[in-house]
Amino acid sequence: MAYDLEEQEQLDEFRAWWNKNGKLATRLVIAALVIYGGWQGYQTWMNSKATAASNAYQTLVSTSLLEVDSKKADSILAEAQTLEKDYSMTPYAGRAALFAARALHEAKQTDKAEAQLQWAMKESKEPAVQHMAAIEMAGLQIERNALDEAKKTLVAINDTGFDGLKNAMLGDIYLSKKQEKEAKAAYQDALKSLDPEGKLFYLTQQKLDALG
């Protein structure tokens, strides 16, 4: 096939460029293909993990938390810990830890419940689950009269979506410590964020009214 002068010059330029950079260009293309293939493989692996974790979680939460005894709570804990170990990269691990904590609390295994909440607070992939775990942790701390610990746990929550519940609990802590001024301020802040039609709003308003 005959080329005109301009085409021949372009071919010569390409050959010169290829002789100089061809090996590097080939390596870059191969590297890009390897990276793309690896990414696709990782996505497939993650999707399979997420599906397996979802199925395990759905099986776990199908267990009723009514009348949970120690044996049932231990079984729930074992399933949750499997999720935490094998599927920690998925959101279901944190949710499972939260569910297990509730079961353990129901069975009066408070230490184990707090351990699960600590795991969810630190390791959950969902901020909402981390904050809910902190709320429930503070509740357990209040139950055992560790009021300063509970206050520290609550203050660390930085999601405005939890401000109502957080401040209502802080008000209870201040009230227990006979710090009425601080309790009143916390209850007032709680009412700003709580649902006016909700039960917690009504209870918080009653506590505020009782303070005068």
User: Do both 72 and 103 map to the same domain?
Assistant: yes
Range of the domain at 200: 159-212
186-202 tens-digit pLDDT: 999 999 999 999 999 99
Number of structural domains in the chain: 2
User: Do both 39 and 63 map to the same domain?
Assistant: yes
User: Do both 144 and 180 map to the same domain?
Assistant: no
- Kindly indicate the confidence band of residue 45, based on its pLDDT and cuts at 50, 70 and 90: very low
Where b means 16+ CB within 10 Å and e means fewer, 55-71 reads ebbeebbeeeeeebeee
The pLDDT of residue 193: 95
- Kindly indicate the confidence band of residue 68, based on its pLDDT and cuts at 50, 70 and 90: confident
Entry pTM: 0.76
Q: Count the neighbouring beta carbons within 10 Å of the beta carbon of residue 82.
A: 15
151-199 tens-digit pLDDT: 999 999 999 999 999 999 999 999 999 999 999 999 999 999 999 999 9
The answer to whether residue 197 sits within a structural domain is: yes
Contact call for residues 101 and 133 (beta carbons, < 8 A): yes
88-107 tens-digit pLDDT: 989 999 999 999 999 999 99
The answer to whether residue 142 sits within a structural domain is: yes
User: Do both 112 and 29 map to the same domain?
Assistant: yes
The answer to whether residue 154 sits within a structural domain is: no
The answer to whether residue 204 sits within a structural domain is: yes
User: Do both 85 and 54 map to the same domain?
Assistant: yes
Report the distance separating Cα 183 and Cα 178, nearest Å.
8
The pLDDT of residue 51: 83
User: Do both 140 and 168 map to the same domain?
Assistant: no
